[in-house]
């Protein structure tokens, strides 16, 4: 058992949204821990609540219930000074770098802004020097310092987004589908860059994606979400080699395997109706799409440890 205090921990974390039809359960009772210097991959289809979870953890939107601990302390109990420092220590990299960068600011202004706003450096000379260093670190040529986002390609824009996140010396970064909008070859460059930073700076990542193949190599642990709930969590390798939840199995079958043998083979696509996330009934939310579903699956499920650090919420794993 890991006795180290996690950098980030959530307990029974919930985020519900009021709608005309009832409460939408975007995030429901999420328990997770991320150790310092490690990466938790959070995977699930669009609408499963993974991006909302990232924003709640960062404090960008308020939780409906549950607790968030940072370095072992409940963030609700942070003083306003500690809250301010927390905002610097926790950063986000967005999926669409174009939408997240101010189109009226040049590359150097975008990177310098958080340094100024957070009073990390004061003099123009020091700030310019830091911007130069950050551009070099993320691999943006110096000649692009005065370029605007629309003049850059997707990969370079994402590098600017990464430089901006790094400019405040964060400890924890939520990476929300950071490579989904990029070409496959650029994806690999950005992922490698992020892994290098993790090694060099000891960064901790929560890496959100709909694509399991993206998180396979970057994650220490993977959490699979379905309609606001965590259905399976395990060390990355274990999850790929021994998936125990039918939804994880289905996601794995949907991962393209680039080999001659698989060329032309259709990928398995999940069928079946997705239950509404508004006031969902107790029991397994995946049941209408699960080929193993029985009446028993309508009863509330336990998120059980089935082997070392491998947790699953499925009747099939109950003895
Ligand atoms: Fe399928 Fe039942 Fe397991 Fe849900 S609990 S994944 S419906 S077998």
In degrees, rounded to 5, the angle at the alpha carbon of residue 55 between the alpha carbons of residues 30 and 115 is 140
pLDDT at 87: 86
Each residue of 178-232: pLDDT tens digit? 888 888 888 888 899 999 999 999 999 999 999 888 898 899 999 999 999 999 9
The residue among 85 and 175 whose pLDDT is bigger is 175
For 308, other C-beta atoms within 10 Å of its C-beta total 9
From the list 219, 223, 226, the residue with the least C-alpha distance to 205 is 219
From the list 8, 67, 73, the residue with the least C-alpha distance to 35 is 8
Of the pLDDT bands very low, low, confident and very high (cuts 50, 70, 90), residue 268 is: low
pLDDT at 257: 57
Q: Which of 92-96, 155-159, 166-170 has the lowest mean pLDDT?
A: 92-96
Each residue of 22-34: pLDDT tens digit? 999 999 999 999 9
CA of 49 to the centre of ligand 1 (A): 20
CA of 294 to the centre of ligand 1 (A): 8
301 DSSP assignment: -
Angstrom distance (rounded) from CA 258 to CA 203? 31
Tokens of 15: 């985020």
Does 302 score more than 60 pLDDT?
yes
225 φ, ψ (degrees, to nearest 5) = -110, 140
pLDDT at 85: 85
Of the pLDDT bands very low, low, confident and very high (cuts 50, 70, 90), residue 61 is: very high
Does 1 score more than 90 pLDDT?
no
In the β-sheet with 73-74, what is the strand arrangement from edge to edge? Answer: 22-34, 8-19, 65-70, 73-74
Each residue of 252-267: pLDDT tens digit? 988 765 554 555 555 5
pTM: 0.91
Ligand 1 and 290: CB distance under 6 A:
yes
Of the pLDDT bands very low, low, confident and very high (cuts 50, 70, 90), residue 269 is: low
Does 308 score more than 70 pLDDT?
yes
Burial (Cβ within 10 Å: 0-12, 13-18, ≥19) of residue 80: exposed
The residue among 274 and 53 whose pLDDT is bigger is 53
- Farthest CA pair distance, the chain: 68
* pLDDT, the chain, mean: 90
CA of 240 to the centre of ligand 1 (A): 19
pLDDT at 240: 95
Distances (CA, A) of 195 to 18, 137, 190, 202: 38, 13, 9, 10
Tokens of 182: 């990029």
| Mutation to probe ligand 1, out of 224, 251, 292 (largest number of atoms < 8 A from CB) | 292
Of the pLDDT bands very low, low, confident and very high (cuts 50, 70, 90), residue 44 is: very high
Ligand 1 and 246: CB distance under 6 A:
yes
CA of 134 to the centre of ligand 1 (A): 48
pLDDT at 260: 47
Tokens of 317: 């794993």
SS (H, E, C) 104-128: CCCHHHHHHHHHHHCCCCCCHHHHH
| Mutation to probe ligand 1, out of 232, 245, 287, 299 (largest number of atoms < 8 A from CB) | 287
pLDDT (mean) for 137-152: 94
Portion of the chain with pLDDT greater than 90, in percent: 74
Cα Rg for the chain, rounded, in angstroms? 21
CA of 215 to the centre of ligand 1 (A): 24
Of the pLDDT bands very low, low, confident and very high (cuts 50, 70, 90), residue 150 is: very high
Does 156 score more than 80 pLDDT?
yes
Does 7 score more than 70 pLDDT?
yes
pLDDT at 22: 95
In this structure, are residues 44 and 54 in contact, taking their beta carbons and an 8 Å threshold? no
Distances (CA, A) of 166 to 105, 161, 182, 194: 18, 9, 20, 11
Burial (Cβ within 10 Å: 0-12, 13-18, ≥19) of residue 98: middle
Find the Cα–Cα–Cα–Cα dihedral 286, 287, 292, 294, rounded to 10°.
Answer: 150
């Amino acid at each position: 058992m890991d006795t180290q205090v996690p950098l980030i921990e959530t307990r029974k974390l919930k985020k519900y949204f009021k709608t005309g039809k009832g409460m939408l359960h975007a995030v429901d009772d999420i328990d997770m821990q991320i150790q310092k210097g490690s990466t938790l991959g959070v995977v699930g289809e669009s609408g499963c609540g993974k991006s909302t979870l990232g924003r709640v953890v960062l404090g960008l939107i308020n939780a409906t219930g549950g607790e968030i601990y940072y370095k072992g302390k409940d963030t609700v109990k942070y003083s306003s000074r500690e809250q301010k420092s927390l905002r610097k220590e926790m950063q986000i990299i967005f999926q669409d770098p174009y939408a997240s960068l101010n189109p009226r600011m040049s590359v150097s202004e975008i990177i310098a802004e958080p340094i100024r706003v957070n009073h990390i450096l004061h003099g123009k000379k020091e700030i310019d020097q830091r911007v130069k260093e950050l551009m070099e670190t993320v691999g943006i040529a110096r000649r692009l310092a005065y370029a605007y986002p629309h003049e850059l390609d997707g990969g370079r824009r994402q590098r600017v987004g990464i430089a901006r996140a790094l400019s405040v010396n964060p400890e924890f970064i939520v990476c929300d589908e950071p490579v989904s909008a990029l070409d496959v070859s650029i994806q690999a460059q950005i992922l490698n860059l992020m892994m290098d930073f993790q090694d060099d700076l000891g960064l901790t990542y929560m890496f959100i994606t709909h694509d399991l193949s993206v998180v396979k190599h970057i994650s220490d642990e993977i959490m699979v979400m379905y309609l606001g709930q965590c259905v399976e969590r395990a060390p990355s390798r274990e999850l790929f080699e021994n998936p125990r939840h039918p939804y994880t199995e289905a996601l794995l079958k949907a991962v393209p395997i680039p080999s001659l043998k698989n060329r032309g083979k259709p990928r398995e696509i999940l069928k079946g109706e997705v239950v509404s996330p508004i006031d969902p009934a107790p029991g397994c939310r995946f049941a209408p799409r699960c080929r193993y579903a029985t009446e028993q699956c309508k009863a509330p499920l336990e998120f059980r440890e089935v082997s070392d650090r491998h947790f699953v919420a499925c009747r099939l794993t109950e003895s």
